[in-house]
Chains A and B, each alone.
Chain A
Amino acid sequence: MLGRIFTLIYKEMLAVWRDKKSRFVLIVPPILQLMIFAMAATLDVKNVPIAILNRDEGAESYELLQRFHGSPTFSHILYLDSMHEIASAIDNQKAVMVIHIDAQFSRNLRADKTADIQFILDGRKSNTSQIVQGYASSIVNQYNRDFARRVNIPQQNTEIFPRTWYNPNLLYYWFNVPNLSGILTMLIALTVTGLSVARERELGTFDQVLVSPLQPIEILIGKTVPGIIIGLMEGSIIVAAAIWIFQIPFEGSLLLLYLSLFVFVLCIIGVGLFISSLCQTQQQAILGTFVFMTPAVTLSGYATPIENMPDWLQHATVINPLRYYLVIAKGIFLKDMPASIVFENIWPMVLIALFNLTGATWFFRRRLE
């Protein structure tokens, strides 16, 4: 029996590997995706174009604006000449923020009155503009403190000291690449298992497998193991790239990461088998894969945090294996997550894997018999 299963696994691996195009699809896109996503999928706010309309002529406003010029966040600064240009700068996305300083600014400051300035922000990009507003406000706060010290206005002697743990420079790819080790592994494992049966059905070779002495359970194992092997290989490549190419600190235990990756891949293989046994054609299998992938990725905390979702949807994400794997991947990479917390996130995946695999087995056998 073992010999038969081994032969089938060998045949499956060859089927994937011998076809030049499918070999290409397994190797090139994941690596390209890793490189492009790691760098492009960023909510960092850098090089934001801003515009300034300064109707004040005093030295005070000049000094404030110099501080904006000095900030690395704002590298493109456009000067406007009149109020009319504000709308066009924002509308045409020439600037995410317009700083408007009115003609009374310096006079008010010298007279010990509050000097108002306006930040006009592009609400079409609410995330970016809120972060830009945060930077701009901290520049103004710093200016206020320095100005008060200079003219001896009594100040409140308290200050905020921000510090970031686990990722001191807030590099987005430190968040991104560990996450991609889950997402791209999922994509590959799902494609390999989800499509394998459908492709054989279309080519007619599945009937040949069925008339062979192989038991349904043996066919199932033969179809599952290649997906696991390829998935784990993919995951290893990404983890290696994270450590050596992206130089992301790896604080935790490699063993725990592999254990989690293995359980995670089992969950995904279960889904893949479901898709495989349900679908008659490759096209259906591709759609099935897609219909599973999109919600799984969107609702995993990768694109946007789970805690931003409505409550009922947050509860629904407990059946999403990717959600647990992402917590573990980031935890082991960046936070040196202790084994106890890793296991808190592994056991739900174990349950999902058991459910998926037994369900898929039952379903698969029923379809075969």
Chain B
Amino acid sequence: MRKENGKWRRIRALMIKEMHQIRRDPSSILICLVLPLILMFIYGYGVSLDIDHLRVGLVLEDTSPDAQSFAQSLTDSRYFDTHIARDRRFFTEEMIRGNIRAVIVIPSYFSSFRNRPENIAPIQVLSDGSEPNTASFAQNYVQGAWSNWLQQESISRDLKGLPLVRAQSRFWYNEELESRYFLIPGSLAIIMTLIGTLLTALVIAREWERGTMEALMSTPVTITELLIGKVVPYFILGMISMFMCVAIAVFYYDIPLRSSILVLGVISGIFLLSALGLGLLISTLARTQFVAAQSAMVAAFLPGFILSGFIFEISSMPLPIQMITTVIPARYFVSSLQTLFLVGNVWSLIIPNALAMLGIGSIFYLAAAHRTVKRLD
């Protein structure tokens, strides 16, 4: 019984020590409160996959009414910011500059071919492949504008039977196709990774560097107590900034939250624990702040950004890299966040994700404890 009491007393003392340290060190406050605000701002405004005003060049080598009517349908579309010229050379330099993402060419023989059924009147779409995603969108949008134009044409020309198969698309959970609806929930995962991993990695590496960790080790505190004493205060700090970010997402950016705050909190808590665990592990391995910061970037922040499915689709990656993503907790968190915000409680998705994060997280803690014990001898 006395032993138990001693244990809790020690943990409490450690936590109090840590709290003081947090309060007196401006950089922890900076990481937990200011950095998330900056990141929410940058991700909210700066990261967008919505292409509304695609700058395209339209080369009208043919000025027949037919070509004009297609040109009209492009200039009317809200997706294009169309510049018109007679000569395609006019746009070549603008393409190299990157000012124009695609050039649409209506050749001089367009309308004469169109009046002869044995020929096909071509429309050429030249897109700038140095931005592959924009290039795909440019081609899709032109294709879409062209199909619409054809439909109108066939009505006015009284051609029957077009289209034969008509595909109607519905985008569930995000009808307006706003990329921020999934980017902002995803960015919460990155912010959490950052707070969890960078903060603990730096703070503990500093203790190693200054030698205060050795001092702690010489006290009766056990490894488990030490880890708990370190993790709990930063966990609380991390959860505070998590809820701050959720509030910004919901009230400032108007992202729907279709799950409950409770489920969101529990899932975030599980993820934060694994991020803190990674931070602990990095700091015990690295021992200096320089190396700890670099490793936190490499092992947590960049994978969180690139390998989590936040922007880049995991299923498009090569298989070996897809396998790497399965050990990155952020992957499960990003998918859970997007689902919790936009869909709701899809338990068949959330529970496996939560279990995966728990599993990976406990490996981090076991490894961290193992390393620390070894160093004590």
* Chain A residues within 8 Å of B, Cβ to Cβ: 21-22, 24-25, 29, 32-33, 36-37, 39-49, 64, 88, 90-93, 109, 112, 114-131, 133-134, 136-138, 140-141, 143-144, 147-148, 153-168, 170-172, 174-175, 191, 195, 199, 281-284, 286-287, 290-291, 294-295, 298-299, 303-305, 307-310, 313, 327, 330-331, 334-338, 341, 344
Contacts and interface: CB of A to CB of B under 8 A. Distances in A.
A123 B98 contact: no
B130 A131 contact: no
B306 A157 contact: no
Given A24-B291, A123-B174, A126-B181, 19 more contacts: A40-B318, A40-B325, A48-B315, A92-B348, A118-B170, A121-B172, A123-B175, A131-B140, A134-B139, A144-B163, A153-B160, A154-B160, A158-B121, A160-B122, A161-B124, A308-B50, A330-B98, A336-B96, A341-B93
B250 interface: no
A295 B165 contact: no
Contact of B42 (A64, A154, A299, A305): A299
B254 interface: no
Contacts of B316: 42-48
A109 B164 contact: yes
Contact of B97 (A25, A165, A341): A341
Interface residues of B, number: 115
A170 B130 contact: no
A123 B174 CA distance: 5
A240 B53 CA distance: 36
B46 interface: yes
B290 A287 contact: no
B298 A124 contact: no
B153 A156 contact: yes
B173 A115 contact: no
A319 B293 CA distance: 27
Nearest to B288: A21
A284 to B, nearest CB: 6
Interface string B155-196: 001011111111111111111011101100000000000000
Given A39-B318, A40-B312, A157-B119, A305 B134 contact: yes
Chain A facing B: main interface SS? helix
Given A165-B129, A167-B130, A337 B49 contact: no
B343 A163 contact: no
B174 A144 contact: no
Interface in B126-156: 126-137, 139-140, 142-144, 146-147, 150, 153-154
B289 interface: yes
Contact of A157 (B38, B120, B311, B343): B120
A47 B317 CA distance: 9
A155 B163 CA distance: 10
A304 B122 CA distance: 32
Contacts of B93: 341
A307 B98 CA distance: 11
B177 A298 contact: no
Interface string B204-219: 0010000000000000
27 contacts: A24-B291, A25-B295, A36-B307, A45-B136, A46-B315, A91-B346, A92-B349, A109-B164, A114-B166, A121-B169, A124-B181, A125-B313, A131-B140, A134-B143, A143-B165, A153-B160, A154-B161, A159-B120, A163-B125, A166-B128, A166-B130, A283-B202, A284-B27, A287-B31, A304-B46, A305-B133, A337-B96
